[in-house]
A and B are shown apart, each in its own frame.
Chain A
Amino acid sequence: MEYLYGVIIIVGLYVILATSFNLIIGYGGLISIAHPVFFALGAYASAVLSRDFGVPVPFAMLAGMVVAFVSSIALALPSLRVSGDYLLIASIGFQLGVLEVIKNLRFTGGPGGFTNIPPFLIRDLGRESYVLLVVVVMIAVILLVRWIARSDYGRAMSAMQDDELAYASVGRDAMWMKIVIFALGSGIAGLAGALYAHYFRFIAPEQFEILQSAAILTMVVVGGMRTTWGPIVGALLLEAVPQAITFLHLPPSVLGPIQGLLFTGLVLVFMFFRPQGLVPAVDVWRAPQARAGKAEEFRS
C-alpha cells in the first residue's frame, strides 16, 4: 500500500510539473530546460528551512515556492531583455550551474544529498492525508492553468505567440507577460519540489538533473502542448512506462539509461510523426462564452 501511495504522489507531482511547464512552453512560447532546477530550489529551500532553521513545514513549503518564483525572475529578466533564444541558453546554464552550486555547498548536504527532512502530516494523519494533499494541489494547479489559458490573459498569450511584433503594435508589453508566465510556472514547480521533499524526506542533486528536463519536456510535447489534458496524459504515460519496466527487474545501471532512451526516443518519434502530440490543441482561441455557444456577446 505504501508503495502505491508513493507512485500516486510521484505521478501527481509530475502532472503538476508538466502542467506548469506547459504554461511556460505551450502557452507562453518560452523555450527553457530549467524546470527541474526550480523543482530542486523549492525542495531544498523548504527542506533546509524546516530542518535546520525550525521553520514550520507549511511555511517552509511556501518559502520554497517563493524562492523558486524569485530566482526564476532573476533568470528570465536579463535573458528576455535580449530575446527568447537567449532564455533557452541561459536556462541551460542556470539548470547546470545551480546544481553545481548545490553539489558543492555544505549546508545543502553536497553531492550526498540532504537527509532527515521533517515529515508533514504523515505522523499525525497518516500517509493517505499526504496523498490527498498532493492530489488537491494537483487539481488546483490544473484548474488554475486552465482558467488562465481560457481567460483574457489567455487571449493575450495566444496573440503574443502568433505575432510578437503585432502584439507590440497594439500597445501590449510582451516581455513582462513572459516574465510573469515564467515566474508563475517556476513557482508552481517549486511548490511541487517542497511537496516532494517532505514526503520522501531525502533529496539529492542527481534527482534533479537534465534527465528530468527531458522527461518533463517529453510529457508536454508528447501529451500535447496548449491543452489541459495533454500534460496529464503525458505524465501518466511517461510514469506508467518506467513503472512497467521495473517489473522486468533490470539492474539499476541499465534501468536509468533505458528510461532515458524511452523518453528521448518517444519525443523524437512523436516529433517526426505526430508533432501536435496525443491531445490535439484547438486551432482558434475562443472566449469561454463563445465556446459554450452562448449568444451573450451579440447583445450590445
Chain B
Amino acid sequence: MSSILTVNGLQKSFGGIVVARDIDLTLHSGRIVGLIGPNGAGKTSLFNLITGVVKPDAGTVALAGETLNKLKFHQRIRRGLSRTWQNIRLFSSLPVIDNLLVATHDYPGERLVNVLFRRAHLARHNRAARDKAMDVLGKVGLAGVAHDRVADLPYGQQKLVGVARALMGDAKCLLLDEPMAGVEGQSYAAMQRVVREVAEHGVAVCVVEHNVAFIRDLCDEGVFMFSGAIMARGSVAELIRDPQLTELYFGH
C-alpha cells in the first residue's frame, strides 16, 4: 500500500484566524479517507492548500514523492491531483459531455497549433476522449443526458457530473469536497459506487463530508479536524463513538 499524497507541517492563517495548524496527512493508494469536522474546521481550506489554490505559510505537499510546493494549481492537477468543489463549478456554457471532454489529462485542443495543423492527432484524441467520457457517464448513470445543458439537470445529477469530470484526468489522488451535500436517491447510490470503484483502481481518495452514513459505509479511516488542527485519526466507527469529538462537532 503505497503512499500517494504526503502533507507535512502545513500551516496557514488569514489575518488572525488559523485555518491550518501544523497538518500532517498521508493518503494511500486504494484507501478512502474521510475528513470530518464541524463547519469552519478548515477542511476545504486543507483541500485548497493541497491543490495550491491557497499558498501555505509553511509546510510541504508531495505527490508520489514529488514536492508540489512551487507548482501552480493547474500544474498540480496535471501531476495527478484532482478535486471537486462544494459549489460544483460546472462549465455552464458547455453540454454535459463537453464538461468532461475539456477535463482530460492532455487536451490537445488547448493548443492552437494542434487545432490548426495537427488535425489527425486531434481527431484520434477526441475519439478516445469521447469513448472514455461516455464510459464514465455510464458509470454514474448519466449517459442519457450527455448532450443536455448543465442547467437543465437536477442538482444531484450536476454533482455527479462534477465527480465524473474529476475522473477524466486519470488522477492518482482524488479530493472530493462534500459530494453528498444535497444528493439523495439514485445519485447517492451511484456516487458511492463510483468512489469505491475509483479506489479499487488504486487511486488515493479523500472525502470531506457531513453525511455520517456515507462516511461510515465508504471510508477506510477517518480524520477529525477542528479549528484548523487534526484532533483525531482512526476508524470511522471509533471517531463517531468518541463523546469528546461528538461534542466538538455538535457544539458548533
- On A, residues with C-beta under 8 Å from B are 148, 151-153, 155-156, 158-159, 161-163, 165-174, 177, 180, 184, 283-287, 290, 297, 300
CA distance A290 to B95 in the complex (A): 10
- Interface assignment of B102: CB less than 8 Å from any CB of chain A: yes
Check if A152 sits within 8 Å of B94, measured CB to CB.
no
Interface pairs (10), CB distance under 8 Å: A148-B112, A151-B115, A152-B115, A152-B126, A159-B98, A163-B91, A168-B73, A287-B98, A290-B147, A297-B130
**Cross-chain contact A168 with B77 (CB below 8 angstroms):** yes
Q: Give the dominant DSSP class at A's interface.
A: helix
In whole Å, how far is B175's beta carbon from the nearest beta carbon of chain A?
A: 10
Across the interface, do A159 and B91 meet the contact criterion of CB distance under 8 Å?
Answer: yes
Interface: B157 (CB within 8 A) = no
Complex formed: what's the CA distance from A174 to B75 in Å?
11
Assess the B85–A156 pair: CB atoms within 8 A: no
Among B77, B93, B165, contact of A158 (Cβ-Cβ < 8 Å): B93
Chain A contacts for B109, CB-based, 8 A: 151-153, 155-156
Inside 8 A of A184's CB, which chain B residues have their CB?
112
**Contact call A285/B51, Cβ cutoff below 8 A:** no
Expressed in whole angstroms, the Cα–Cα distance for A286 and B96 within the complex equals 10
**Contact A286:B134 (CB < 8 A) given known A152-B108, A170-B103:** no
**A162 nearest CB neighbor, chain B only:** B91
B: which residues have CB within 8 A of A? 51, 53, 72-74, 77-78, 82-83, 85, 89-95, 97-99, 101-103, 105, 107-110, 112, 114-115, 122, 126, 130-131, 134, 147, 149, 165-166, 168-169
Measured CB to CB, the closest approach of chain A to B248, in angstroms, equals 30
Cβ of A181 to closest chain B Cβ, rounded Å = 9
- Please tell me if the beta carbons of A172 and B74 are within 8 angstroms of each other in the complex: yes
**Minimum CB–CB distance for B44 against chain A, Å:** 13
Whether A159 pairs with B94 at a CB distance below 8 angstroms is yes
**Chain A's nearest CB lies how many Å from the CB of B14?**
18
Contact A156 B93 (CB under 8 A): no
Q: Is the CB of B102 within 8 A of A162?
A: no
Given known contacts A158-B91, A162-B94, what 15 new A-B pairs fall within 8 Å (CB)? A148-B115, A151-B109, A152-B122, A153-B115, A156-B102, A159-B99, A162-B93, A166-B85, A167-B91, A170-B165, A170-B166, A171-B107, A172-B102, A180-B112, A286-B98
Give A74 to B77 CA distance when docked, in angstroms: 28
The CA-CA distance from A297 to B96 in the complex, in Å, is: 13
Which residues of A have CB within 8 Å of B95? 284-286, 290
> Is there an interface contact between B134 and A155, defined as CB atoms closer than 8 Å?
no
Minimal beta-carbon separation of B109 from chain A (angstroms)? 2
Question: Given A152-B122, A155-B101, A184-B112, A169 and B147 touching (CB < 8 A)?
Answer: no
B contact residues around A161 at 8 Å (CB): 93
Residues from chain B with Cβ under 8 Å of A169 in the complex: 51, 73-74, 77, 82-83, 85, 89, 166
Cross-chain contact of B168 among A170, A173, A287, A300 (Cβ < 8 A): A170
Q: Looking at the assembled complex, report how far the CB atom of A229 sits from the nearest CB atom of chain B, in whole angstroms.
A: 19
A285 with B74: CB separation less than 8 A: no
Q: Are B94 and A300 in contact (CB under 8 A)?
A: no
Given known A-B contacts A284-B149, A285-B98, A173 and B115 have beta carbons under 8 A apart: no
Of A158, A161, A284, most B-chain CB atoms within 10 Å: A284
A171 touches B74 (CB 8 A): yes
Among B74, B89, B99, B131, find the residue whose CB has the most chain A CB atoms closer than 10 A: B74
Bound-state Cα–Cα, A163 to B88, Å? 11
- Closest chain B CB from A235 CB (angstroms): 24
Assuming the contacts A148-B112, A171-B78, asked whether A155 and B98 have C-beta atoms less than 8 A apart, the reply is: yes
Question: What is the bound-complex CA distance between A173 and B103, given in angstroms?
Answer: 12
- A169–B166 Cα distance when bound, in Å, is 8
Contact A162 B112 (CB under 8 A): no
With the chains together, A171 CA to B103 CA distance in Å?
7
Question: Are B92 and A162 touching (Cβ within 8 A)?
Answer: yes
What 10 A-B pairs have minimum CB-CB distances, sorted nearest first? A152-B109, A170-B103, A171-B77, A166-B89, A168-B74, A159-B91, A162-B91, A171-B78, A168-B73, A153-B115
